Amino acid sequence: MSLLFNQPAVNDYATDDNMVRLLNGRQILTRDDIINSLSLNYMHDFVDLSQRLSKIGNNLMTEFAEQELLNAFTDSRYDVAFIVGENAASIDNIHGFIITKKPYCAKKPKAYGLDLLCIKEGISAGSILLGLYLYCIKSCPAEQIGFLDSVDSYTNLSALCLYSKFGFTIDKSFYERYQCFGSYENVAMSVNLYKMKRHDIIDIVVNIHAGFDKLPICNIARKYQFAIGALENLKLLMDEFDAVCIKNQLIGAQYMAKFNDILYQSFDLNTGQFIIIYKLIDQIMDTSYHIPYTFRRPVQVTLFKIELDKLLALMYNKANRKRIAPANNQIARNFMIGFDEILESPSPKSPSPKSSSPKSSSPKTKRMRTTKNTTKHLTP
């Protein structure tokens, strides 16, 4: 069995003095602990448990969660750990779970990927289970990296900001070089643990240290986060679009058809904020009609990406309450006017966190912020 959550490492983590205070009577249980505590003896027991626990967290992920939970009890590549209340002998008392997989993909055979992280609504335990995952990697001879893909990417901010707090960064190599994930729709992230100490992880979990610098979108005014997240997601999809087109040498009509698939089928265009983006796309396309037909489609795509970068910069400045210079073109001005109007309506709620969810292993040193006005440098 692929046991990342082995009993000695879990006990060492859970019995740290600071963790004991944070857990406050809650327990962290391994797969074997749950099997023994709930007397799971037959396949139908595991199926029933998987069905019931799959409803924790994001309702849109229920089917996936049910299958991965069953895998965690029956497939040797998986492992699972749970956080429960004081009475473990009850399914209803399970507050959340985390599932890992090794090998997650053929090109990373010695690394444990984070497959799924689900927490019951209203329960604060995401940091505890994510910290457990990283702590157990540091306690075993596996490759010292953590990696995942976060569903809904930049519009799933509760997950994205939690991961970046622990040093995870966007890492496209897990799509391209390692081929662990198939689509840019879920953002791939990784963290390098070679220079991180086990006590560093616990310090972040219990808030002795505030953690690593979060992604910029985590620190802006809430009313702008969803729309900026949608634009960031679109930028990710454009990166995938480029990769597909270069690999397959798509040109002309094929190139534009793929572009349209990404633009128009990736979002719910009934949402007010996306209607503005939709109109923006049309305006950009209109600006390229003077270009000879043979070159028009690729140029339209290039124009769109340029405008998208400009808009993201404008939106971040506005969200950070910085003085914004007048937009240098009518498209950007129209977008900002329309967007200000649409902000008067409530934004959709972000979905709950899921990990199946990197700049990757980088020699750069990142600053680790602390609640005590000191700094500590770690390399994620």
pLDDT tens digits for 334-348? 555 555 554 554 444
What is the pLDDT at residue 244?
A: 63
CATH at residue 203: 3.40.630.30
212 and 229 inside one domain: no
Residues 154 and 236 in one domain: no
The pLDDT, as a whole number, for residue 121 is 85
The whole-angstrom separation of Cα 52 and Cα 214 is 33
Q: How many domains does the chain fold into?
A: 2
In a domain, 231, yes or no: yes
CB-neighbour burial class of residue 135 (10 A; exposed 0-12, middle 13-18, buried 19+):
buried
Q: How far apart are CA 41 and CA 335, in angstroms?
A: 60
pTM listed for this prediction: 0.78
Q: Does residue 254 sit in the same domain as residue 300?
A: yes
**What is the CB neighbour count within 10 angstroms for residue 379?**
17
Residue-level pLDDT at 296: 47
pLDDT tens-place string over residues 199-220: 999 999 999 999 999 999 998 8
Looking at the fold, whether 253 and 207 belong to one and the same domain comes out as no
Q: Are residues 337 and 264 in the same domain?
A: yes
- In this structure, the chain runs to a length of 380
User: Which residues have CB under 8 Å from 362's CB, separation 6+?
Assistant: 169, 192, 379
Domain containing residue 160:
7-219+352-378
Distance CA 190, CA 145 (A): 7
What tens digit of pLDDT does each residue of 126-146 get?
Answer: 999 999 999 999 999 999 999
First to last CA, the chain: 28
Alpha helices in 174-268 (DSSP H): 198-205, 222-248, 252-265
pLDDT beneath 70: ranges in the chain: 1-2, 58-60, 241-304, 321-380
For residue 199, what are its two tokens?
């006590």
Which residues, 6+ apart, have CB-to-CB distance to 346 below 8 Å?
none
Backbone angle region of 362, left / alpha / beta, with phi > 0 → left and psi within -120 to 50 → alpha: beta
SS3 content of the chain, % helix, strand, coil (to 5): 50, 15, 35
Same structural domain, 108 and 92:
yes
| Residues near 351 by beta carbon (within 8 Å), at least 6 away in sequence | 58, 60, 151, 152, 155, 156
Phi/psi zone of residue 152: left (φ > 0), alpha (ψ -120 to 50 degrees), beta?
Answer: left
pLDDT at 193: 97
Residue 255's pLDDT is 53
In a domain, 320, yes or no: yes
